[in-house]
Structure 1
Amino acid sequence: MKNSIVIVDDHILIAKALRGIIANFENFEVLYECENGKDLQDKFKANNPIPNIVLLDISMPIMDGFETAKWLKENHPETLIMALSMQDDEKSVIKMVKNGATGYLLKNTHPADLEKALLAIVKNGFYYPDWAASKVFASLNDRNNYNEIKITTRESEFLKYVSTEMSYKEISEKMFCSPRTVESYRDNLCEKLELKTRVGLAVYAIKNGYV
């Protein structure tokens, strides 16, 4: 049986092009397309089939990808969310992860890479490119590895803020310390968790209940 997909994108040509591309994938099929999150809600309420995966754009009118991802997480947690966007900034990735996205791709992705990403999200429950620290997700299944890592009280406090949109200077003000001290928390955690970016730290914080 093929894995079902619903495309949510306000650009009709892009949605149709994606549908055509996915039609060539052996293990996937597109059920229908939606113009925004509200359209998706309406189709779900009208008893249209619930897909295995939602391919979700971020910038949309009426109900954008952030709000849609949060709604899906709260009402259909079994549905995997693959963000497919032109936005590659850390804030967008962090916010989508926090709102429930289990994958993130850019729209300039090659069709072959899209298929690989879809296969990965079905197999592992997540897919993120290297720069978004996908290996964090891969190791989340092994709780014992994390239990061996000693995280200090102040580092735990830092993890509460790392998934927000605050700058490191703003975080330092919240923690009543210098920006340099906050950067040391970041560097120590990256070393302990074998991460390279703030996105990776944010993913870890969200998945492990620090937020």
Structure 2
Amino acid sequence: MKHTIAIIDDHILIAQALRSIISNFAQFEVLYTAENGVDFQQKLTSKPVPDVVLLDITMPIMDGFETAKWLSTTHPNVLIMALSMQDDEQSLIKMIKNGSKGYMLKNAHPLELENALNALVKNGQFFPEWAASKVFTSIREDTIDARSKLNLSDREIEFLTYTVTEMNYKEISEKMFCSPRTIENYRDSLFEKLELKSRVGLAVFALKNGYAK
């Protein structure tokens, strides 16, 4: 039995191209396409809920961030794969925070897309190498008491809460009333304690362990 997919993208040509590409994947079939989150919501009133949603981030009326947040609340079993032209960390972090289980660049090869979808349905998540995918497999799924087991300071924990926001490090330093250099020290200390290498990793850790605001 094939896994079902809905494609949400305001560019009709891209949506149809994706549908055509996925039609050649043995394990998947596209049920329908939608132009934005509102269009998707309307179609769900009469059409089946898909197993996977390929979700464009930048759309009018209701963008990918809003759609992911709504979908993860109303249909938490649906696996969301974000689609983007940008490989920036901020979009990735925000999509993860809003419930996305995967992230894919639109310039990927069809074989990469097929492999990504297979990994998504098999493992429950898929993130590309640039997004520090090792972080997602190395962090334990169960919540841990990081404060006691990893000896995190109050200020390090406060910094963790800001890693899931859209603020850059300079803005975080202003929020925490300290210098950018001090923020770098918190970051580097957490990298060492948590054995991570990127802000994405810190954000995922914060989300999984209850430190996200």
TM > 0.5: yes
The residue aligned with 1:188 is: 189
* Residues 133 and 195 in structure 1, CA contact (< 8 A), matched pair in contact too: no
SS in structure 2 of the partner of residue 31 of structure 1 = strand
Q: CA RMSD, aligned part only?
A: 1.7
C-alpha distance in structure 2 between counterparts of 1:164 and 1:194, whole Å: 21
Identity of aligned pairs, percent?
Answer: 66
SS in structure 2 of the partner of residue 143 of structure 1 = coil
C-alpha distance in structure 2 between counterparts of 1:80 and 1:89, whole Å: 21
Stretch moving more, 155-164 or 129-138: 129-138
Note closer, same or farther for the CA distance 1:142–1:67 as it changes in structure 2 (3 Å cut). closer
Give the partner amino acid of 2:80: I
* Residues 143 and 208 in structure 2, CA contact (< 8 A), matched pair in contact too: no
Q: TM-score, normalised by structure 2?
A: 0.92
Deviations 1:177-211 (A, max 9, x none): 22111111111212222322212211221122111
Note closer, same or farther for the CA distance 1:146–1:16 as it changes in structure 2 (3 Å cut). farther
Q: How many corresponding residue pairs? A: 210
C-alpha distance in structure 2 between counterparts of 1:62 and 1:161, whole Å: 28
C-alpha distance in structure 2 between counterparts of 1:4 and 1:77, whole Å: 15
C-alpha distance in structure 2 between counterparts of 1:151 and 1:53, whole Å: 37
Q: TM-score, normalised by structure 1?
A: 0.93
The residue aligned with 1:86 is: 85
* Residues 102 and 125 in structure 1, CA contact (< 8 A), matched pair in contact too: yes
Aligned-residue offset at 1:156: 0.9
Aligned-residue offset at 1:145: 8.0
The residue aligned with 1:45 is: 45
Deviations 1:141-160 (A, max 9, x none): 45388865332222111110
* Residues 131 and 197 in structure 1, CA contact (< 8 A), matched pair in contact too: no
The residue aligned with 1:129 is: 128
* Residues 144 and 209 in structure 2, CA contact (< 8 A), matched pair in contact too: no
Note closer, same or farther for the CA distance 1:142–1:89 as it changes in structure 2 (3 Å cut). closer
